[in-house]
Amino acid sequence: MKTIGIIALGLVTLVVGVSTVATAERPIDQGSPVYGVTLPKEYRDWKLISVAQENGKNNDIRAILGNDMAVKAYRAGRRPFPDGAIIVRLAWHYQSSPRNDAVFPAPQSFVAGEPTNVQVSVKDSKRYAATGGWGYGQFENGIPNPDPAVVQACFACHVKLEKLEKGADFVFTGYSK
Amino acid sequence: MKTIGIIALGLVTLVVGVSTVATAERPIDQGSPVYGVTLPKEYRDWKLISVAQENGKNNDIRAILGNDMAVKAYRAGRRPFPDGAIIVRLAWHYQSSPRNDAVFPAPQSFVAGEPTNVQVSVKDSKRYAATGGWGYGQFENGIPNPDPAVVQACFACHVKLEKLEKGADFVFTGYSK
C-alpha cells in the first residue's frame, strides 16, 4: 500500500506539474480565450514599428514589432491592414537606471526591467469580423492569459479609438522612421 | 558676358546645392568624423535589443537595434562583442499622446514623436583599439553629424561605464527578452 501511495503521489505531482505549464485549464496551443490567438514563434525577431511608454497602472516601456506583412503595410501607409498582418506589443517594467545615471551628467535614464506581458493583434477580417477584423491575445512568459475579460478589454479599448479616428483601423501605434 | 554670368551663377548654385547635401564639408560616404562610421543600409530592419527613455536635455524615447552578430552575442551573453557587431540606437522626441489618452482611463500615454538622431557603435578591435574597440557615429536625417566633439563625447561617456563595470565591454544596453 505504501508503494502504491508513493506512486499515486508521484502521478498527482506529475499531473499538477503538466497542467501548470498549460495554465491549468487551457493548453498553450489553443491560444487566447475568445480569439484563439497564439504567440507567433519568431516574433522576437520581427521588425520594429515603434516604441512607447505608459504611466499609471501599467507603468511600462514598450516596443511594438510587426511581421513582414504588417511592416510593409505600415511603410506603405496602407489601411486597413491586410489579412495576415500581426502586430506584437512587448512591455517591460519602466524603471530608472542608477547604473546609467552614475555615468550621465544628471539622473535621467529609464530602461526596460523585467517583462510584463506580450500582446498580439492578428488581422483576419473574416474570422474576427465581429471585432473589426482583429483578434487579440495576451501572453505572460509565453503562456496565453486564460481570462476572457483580459482579451475582451483589448477590443473595448481599440473600438473607442476607431470611433474617434476611422482611418486608424483600430490601431494605436504609428510607424516611427 | 551676360550669358557667361548666368552660366556662372548656375554653376555656383549647383555647387552650393551639392555641397549642402553632403553636409558642406563632409561627404556622406566618409561617415562620422574621427571614426569614419557610416550608417548601415538596412539598420531599420534589424532586430530589437531593448528600449529606453531619457529625460533631461535629450528628452527622448529610444530603441536599440543590432545586426545579427550583435544580437547573437547578446542572446549568448557573449562579452566582449565580436568584431563586426554593430549596435544602433534610434531616438525620437518623447511626447505625451492626447490621442491615446482620449481613449485610456487616465492620461498616461507617451509615444515617439519626430526622430532626433541615430547613433551607431561599431566593434572593430583593431581599427578602434584606442577607444576600447568601438567606433562611433551620430546621424541626423541619415547624414553624419560633422562635429568631432559629438562623437568624442560618445567614448568619453562609454569609458566611464567601463571603469565602473569591466564586463560590460563599454555597452550600456542589456538585452530585453
A115-170 pLDDT, tens digit per residue, is 999 999 999 999 999 999 999 999 999 999 999 999 999 999 999 999 999 899 99
Contact between A87 and A62 (Cβ < 8 Å): no
Output the pLDDT for position B164: 93
pLDDT band at A25 (very low <50, low <70, confident <90, very high): low
Strand, helix or coil for residue B112 = strand
Which run of H or E residues covers position B117? strand B109-123
Contact with chain A for residue B65, Cβ under 8 A: yes
Spell out the CATH class of A25-168. alpha beta
Q: What is the ipTM of this complex?
A: 0.86
Q: Report the alpha-carbon distance of residue B123 to residue B37 in Å, rounded.
A: 10
Of A24-33, A126-135, A164-173, B59-68, the range with the lowest mean pLDDT is A24-33
Within 8 A of B56 by CB-CB distance, chain A residues are 104-106, 108
| Residue type (1 letter), B7 | I
Strand, helix or coil for residue B25 = coil
Of A127-131, A148-152, B1-5, B33-37, the range with the lowest mean pLDDT is B1-5
- What is the pTM assigned to this prediction? 0.86
The residues facing A119 across adjacent strands are A89, A138
Say whether pLDDT at B31 is over 80: yes
By C-alpha distance, the chain B residue nearest A56 is B108
Q: Where are the domains of chain B?
A: 30-168
A90-118 pLDDT, tens digit per residue, is 999 999 999 999 998 888 999 999 999 99
Mean pLDDT value of segment B29-37: 95
Output the pLDDT for position B69: 98
Say whether pLDDT at B11 is over 60: no
Spell out the CATH class of B30-168. alpha beta
Output the pLDDT for position B37: 98
Within 8 A of A111 by CB-CB distance, chain B residues are 50-53, 173-174
Contact with chain B for residue A171, Cβ under 8 A: no
Q: How many percent of chain B have pLDDT more than 70?
A: 85
